[in-house]
Amino acid sequence: MNIIAISNRVPALNKTGDQIVSFYRLNYLAKLGHSIDVVCFQSINIKDDNLAKQILKKKGIHVHFIQLNIFESILNLTKAMFNKDLPFQCAFFKSKKFSNKVKVLFKNKKIHSIYCVMIRVAPNIDWYQGKLLVEMIDSMGLNFLRRSKMTKGLKKWILKKEQKKASNYEKNLADRSYRSFVVSSIDQKKIASSNLRVLPLGVNIFNKKRKISKNPIIIFSGNMFYQPNVDAILWFVKHCWSNILKEEPKTKLLIVGSNPAANIILLANKYSSINITGRVPSVFNILNKATVSIAPMQSGSGMQIKILEAMACAIPVVCTTIGIGDIRAKVNKDLLVADTGKDFSQKVIYMIRSMQQNRIIGKNGQLYVAEKHGWENLNQKFINLYNLKKK
């Protein structure tokens, strides 16, 4: 079959959750013999995008980059202020060039299906009436709802307005699709469409032996411009960091991820014990040296890939209830959960001081993700639900 994949960014490894998921999905489809064309926007990281394009090309997947017209995006955002149905998230990525490129592919090939990654680029195929699959990853409506509860004033009003529009849009898109997917039953319940199915995030097991640093290292990983990640690490530093340093003064906090926001960078200026790496070639190599991984999420939605990646490396994880979300790991066996600053600090300190329990929980977590989050099984479920067979 000939399939067009559309996304606001190129499918790639070691990137954001939607890029990783779409990378594995499309590789699996190509492996089964399907012809794949990807239409996506090119980011400012042209070198990284071109490398990702070459990797996909070797798999037989053709990538067509579209340059985002910022003036068109601003105009669309302005129009969206008076449009009760179109979220700003979607308006920004509405593009005539993007839509026309998809139409050209339809003209030149017999296209059997469109695979849409996230809801952001969906307005570019409003005209499409065929078999549509939407990889939603998570509920944007739930994401904005949680974020709005943490803010006040004008920002709260804007987030609530976007939450309402995003919730309606993703529900309508899921209803329109042949099948849509989210990574968590919590997000599935929020969207509430009969066409929506749950497929958890996948992760590869990192089988190298842990090389734990002599002095404790706490790691937080993720896109550090993404607001829920910013909120999480700011909460941790405010409510936990001084408690941990008081008990374990040699501890270092490593914040790993691309595009750190200004208030994150300020943390490293304030605390000599906090290091910010920016983007790294392999988060797994960094994780392998960590004593404990944290996910003190205060907002957000979906499933935290940072938790699964740490567990895949046999690193014990301390997270919040929002962080664990729909991950079905057993609390106090596979990972630890805490929601107050005091409790979170104590559990991190416990993982630093008790290396026996550190290794036990780390290994249990690794066994859990190997059983429940392997890409091969998840991709086969995806194929079955998509009703696609080998070419």
- CATH 3.40.50.2000 is right for the domain spanning 217-372: yes
DSSP string, 160-224: HHHHHHHHHHHHHHHHHSSEEEES-HHHHHHH--TTEEE-PPP-----SPP---SS-EEEEES-T
* Residue 391: predicted pLDDT: 46
Positive or negative CA dihedral for 186, 191, 195, 200?
negative
* CATH 3.40.50.2000 domain position(s) in the chain: 2-202+375-386, 217-372
* Residue 382: predicted pLDDT: 93
* Residue 342: predicted pLDDT: 97
Q: How many CB atoms lie within 10 A of CB 345?
A: 22
- Environment class of residue 47 by beta-carbon count within 10 Å: exposed (0-12), middle (13-18) or buried (19+)? exposed
**What 3-state DSSP class applies to 295?**
strand
DSSP 8-state secondary structure symbol assigned to residue 89:
H
**What 3-state DSSP class applies to 264?**
helix
Residue with tokens 């067009």: 4
Q: Strands 317-319 and 292-295: what pairing? A: parallel
Q: Residue 36 is which amino acid? A: I
With vertex at residue 209, the alpha carbon angle to CA 17 and CA 249, rounded to the nearest 5 degrees, is: 80
* Residue 278: predicted pLDDT: 86
Q: What distance in Å separates the CA atoms of residue 3 and residue 110, rounded to the nearest whole number?
A: 9
Q: How far is CA 361 from CA 332, 356, 385, in A?
A: 8, 9, 34
CATH fold, domain 2-202+375-386, is: Rossmann fold (3.40.50)
Helix, strand, coil distribution of the chain in percent, nearest 5: 50, 15, 35
- pTM: predicted TM-score of the whole model, two decimal places: 0.86
Phi, psi of 236, deg, nearest 5: -60, -45
> For each of the chain's 391 residues, which pLDDT tens digit applies?
899 999 999 999 878 889 999 999 999 999 999 999 999 999 988 999 999 999 999 999 999 999 999 999 999 999 999 999 999 999 999 999 999 999 999 999 899 999 999 999 999 999 999 999 999 999 999 989 988 988 889 999 999 999 999 999 999 999 999 999 999 999 999 999 999 999 999 998 888 888 888 899 999 998 888 899 999 999 999 999 999 999 999 999 999 988 888 899 999 888 999 999 988 888 888 898 899 999 999 998 888 999 999 999 999 999 999 999 989 999 999 999 999 999 999 999 999 999 999 999 999 999 999 999 999 999 999 998 887 654 4
- Non-local (6+) Cβ contacts of 227 within 8 A are 147, 299
CA atoms within 13 A on the CB side of 310: 29
Q: Are 307 and 324 in contact (CB under 8 A)?
A: yes
Q: Which of 238, 237, 212 is nearest to 352 (CA)?
A: 212
Q: How far is CA 258 from CA 15, 222, 245, 255, 361, in A?
A: 9, 7, 26, 10, 28
Q: What distance in Å separates the CA atoms of residue 304 and residue 293, rounded to the nearest whole number?
A: 12
Q: What distance in Å separates the CA atoms of residue 210 and residue 192, rounded to the nearest whole number?
A: 42
Q: How far is CA 235 from CA 156, 291, 306, 319, 343, in A?
A: 19, 20, 17, 12, 13
